Structure formats: structure tokens, C-alpha cells
């Protein structure tokens, strides 16, 4: 196996990446309530870390949690965010010492991607302003992340080697993680309660009001399809012509390999009663009515090593890289003058 070196973007992000994501149509959030966060939360070698970055990120987290956080939980989150920002600044400063190029092309590319959803520069800047963030703040955040990735790639490159024996050993010791459940391959024809063309053109309220009527029409359609199949119609051709499942229709209703438990339980149950080549009767799910043709059944199995070899190698590389990055960051901290002002 050739020795491969993977980009450390994922590692950088998991340890401290903090680039500000500006979502269109998301409302501005107020500062985390009940927490007094000083305007400057920390200093790294005399460089201030401002609270607005922490508050911005904190509000993103609060927006996505399903329950209110306690003061203790919020405090813990803020401390973690401050720690990540300290590490970002440390790595950024080290990158400057090493005379890393700022990568203006990459900065421009990322800025353009963030700007793209907005109709104008004014709208983009207004969205930033609503979050107490400026264009310069955003550029700084992107620049720091780019420099961090470059520096850490530079520090890690050539220091990690994953051998074939390492990969094989991991596979043998973790076979339980690579167990595939029972699966099957089938074709189906769907008579949807809400056909795709109707979903695209009809208001939701109107659809709901007509649900009973549409359900009856879908059932009548599947009954007619089953009758045609019993009279000798070709399943694949019939699926191509009249199935309401747009994703599988062009392939004659082929659903590819399906692991048991992924689809609707009613669908799985109907399949379990079939032998390869057999066609089901009418099967009702939340989507409508189906007729199913089973083409293959597969018992539970162990995923083969060759199929997983590259993924395992990448996993082992990333695990070692995380250790090296963490060690490098700790060395930077020991040499730095760091002050924190949030307790």
C-alpha cells in the first residue's frame, strides 16, 4: 500500500476552527443571557481576543440546542470557545513567524462563497452587522483558519506512516464494527398519495384537505397496477412508465441494496415474506401504496477488508495526527503569554 498523507482540515476544524458562518435569513441573536462576558475575553502574547467572536458562536450553539442551558453549562461552553480561539490565535501568530503566505486567493474564494447567497454586497454587510461582525472580522477569521491549516500541515507532513500491518491489525481487532445487517435488493412501483407533480404545484393546505380523496385514487391506481402485473406486464417497464417514485423510476423501480431497518417497517415486513423473483400484493406506507418485487436477499455479513482498507488507513492517520497537533499546540502554549478574563 502506498503511504498517503491526508489534508488536516478536519483535524484543524475539530480542534479550534472558528470561521464565522453567515446564514441567510437567520435572525440575529442577542448575547447569551445571564452571563457577563467581558469585551476582551483573553490575551495571547498581547493580542486581544474580543468577546463578539465568542458571543456569535455561542448564539449559534444556543439556537441549535433543544433545551435551555443552565448557567453552568453556558459557562462551560464559553470557556471552551475561548480556549479554541486562544489556540487559533497562537497558531496564527506562529504562522506569521514562519512567514507563511496569507493565501489571498483562498481568502477571496471563501469570502465569495459566503457572499453568494446574498443579492448584493449591501445585503451581505447588513447581515454581518446584525451579528455585530464586520467584513474585516470575517476576513480575519478566514485568514486565521487558512494559516492554521498550512502551519499544521507543515508540522505534520512526513511524520506519520501507516503501514499495511497497522491497517490489517485494526481491522482484525475491530471486526465487530464492520458487521453488516441483513439486506435485500428490490424494485417497487409507488402510487403516491401526493404525486410529485401535485406536490410541486399545490398548496399544502389544499393537499391536506384532499388527502382522503387522493388516498383512494392512489389505492385504485395500485390495484390496477397489480392487475396488469398478474396479466403478465413487465415489472420494470411498468415502473418506468407509471411509478410515482422519481428517484427509482428511470431504473425500473430499482432501489439498490437496502439494509433492514432503513425503510418503513411495513415495507421491510412485506419484503421478508417474499423469495427472490416474487412480487408482493398491495403494501401501504406513509408515502402511499407499493407493489414490490424482490430481486435478492443478503444475510448479515462481515464487510470485507479490501473494501475498508483505505477508510481504515485514513482513520488511523487522523488519530495519530490529532495527537501530534495537540502536542504541538501544547508546546506553543508553554512558550506563550496567555491571560484569560472570563471566569
> Is 6's pLDDT higher than 60?
no
Higher-scoring residue by pLDDT: 19, 314: 314
Whole-number mean pLDDT of the chain? 85
Higher-scoring residue by pLDDT: 140, 293: 293
- CATH of the domain spanning 182-299, picked from 3.10.50.40, 3.90.1150.10, 3.40.960.10, 3.40.50.300: 3.10.50.40
pLDDT value at residue 146: 80
The H or E element containing residue 189 is strand 183-192
Q: Where are the domains of the chain?
A: 9-165+307-340, 182-299
> Is 203's pLDDT higher than 90?
no
For the whole prediction, is pTM greater than 0.95? no
pLDDT value at residue 208: 87
- CATH of the domain spanning 9-165+307-340, picked from 1.10.4030.10, 1.10.1040.10, 3.40.50.970, 3.40.190.10: 1.10.4030.10
Higher-scoring residue by pLDDT: 44, 68: 44
From CA 87, how far away is CA 94, in angstroms rounded? 11
For residues 47 and 95, is the Cβ–Cβ distance under 8 A?
no
Q: CB under 8 Å to 310, separation ≥6 — which residues? A: none
> Is 157's pLDDT higher than 90?
no
Measured at the CA of 249, the angle between CA 245 and CA 254, to 5 degrees, comes to 100
**pLDDT digit string, tens, across residues 217-247:** 999 999 999 999 999 999 999 999 999 999 9
> Is 200's pLDDT higher than 90?
no
pLDDT value at residue 32: 52
**pLDDT digit string, tens, across residues 246-294:** 999 999 999 999 988 888 999 999 999 999 999 999 999 999 999 999 9
Max mean pLDDT among 18-22, 29-33, 73-77 falls in 73-77
**pLDDT digit string, tens, across residues 95-119:** 888 776 666 777 888 888 888 888 8
Residue 59 is placed in which grid cell?
A: 448564539
Residue 343 is placed in which grid cell?
A: 471566569
Q: CB under 8 Å to 89, separation ≥6 — which residues? A: 44, 47, 49, 144
Amino acid at each position: 500500500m502506498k503511504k498517503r498523507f491526508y489534508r488536516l482540515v478536519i483535524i484543524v476544524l475539530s480542534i479550534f476552527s472558528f470561521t464565522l458562518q453567515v446564514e441567510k435569513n437567520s435572525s440575529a441573536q442577542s448575547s447569551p443571557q445571564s452571563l457577563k462576558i467581558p469585551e476582551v475575553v483573553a490575551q495571547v502574547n498581547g493580542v486581544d481576543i474580543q468577546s463578539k467572536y465568542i458571543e456569535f458562536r455561542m448564539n449559534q450553539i444556543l439556537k441549535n440546542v433543544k433545551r435551555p442551558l443552565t448557567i453552568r453549562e453556558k459557562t462551560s461552553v464559553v470557556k471552551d470557545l475561548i480556549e479554541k480561539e486562544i489556540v487559533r490565535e497562537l497558531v496564527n501568530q506562529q504562522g506569521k513567524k514562519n512567514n507563511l503566505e496569507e493565501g489571498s486567493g483562498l481568502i477571496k474564494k471563501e469570502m465569495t462563497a459566503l457572499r453568494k447567497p446574498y443579492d448584493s454586497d449591501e445585503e451581505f454587510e447588513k447581515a454581518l452587522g446584525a451579528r455585530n461582525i464586520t467584513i474585516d472580522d470575517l476576513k480575519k477569521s478566514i485568514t486565521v483558519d487558512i494559516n492554521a491549516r498550512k502551519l499544521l500541515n507543515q508540522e505534520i507532513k512526513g511524520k506519520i506512516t501507516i503501514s499495511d500491518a497497522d491497517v490489517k491489525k485494526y481491522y482484525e481487532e475491530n471486526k465487530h464494527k464492520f458487521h453488516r445487517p441483513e439486506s435485500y435488493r428490490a424494485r417497487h412501483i409507488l402510487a403516491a398519495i401526493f404525486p410529485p407533480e401535485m406536490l410541486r404545484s399545490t398548496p399544502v393546505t389544499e393537499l391536506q384537505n384532499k388527502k382522503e380523496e387522493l388516498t383512494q385514487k392512489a389505492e385504485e391506481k395500485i390495484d390496477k397496477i397489480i392487475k396488469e402485473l398478474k396479466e403478465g406486464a413487465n415489472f420494470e417497464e411498468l415502473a418506468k412508465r407509471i411509478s410515482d417514485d422519481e428517484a427509482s423510476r428511470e431504473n425500473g423501480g430499482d432501489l439498490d441494496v437496502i439494509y433492514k431497518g432503513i425503510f418503513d417497517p411495513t415495507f421491510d415486513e412485506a419484503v421478508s415474506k417474499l423469495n427472490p423473483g416474487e412480487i408482493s400484493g398491495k403494501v401501504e406506507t406513509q408515502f402511499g401504496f407499493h407493489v414490490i418485487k424482490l430481486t435478492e436477499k443478503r444475510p448479515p455479513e462481515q464487510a470485507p477488508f479490501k473494501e475498508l482498507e483505505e477508510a481504515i488507513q485514513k482513520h488511523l492517520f487522523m488519530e495519530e495526527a490529532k495527537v501530534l497537533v495537540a502536542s504541538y499546540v501544547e508546546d506553543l502554549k508553554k512558550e506563550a503569554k496567555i491571560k484569560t478574563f472570563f471566569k
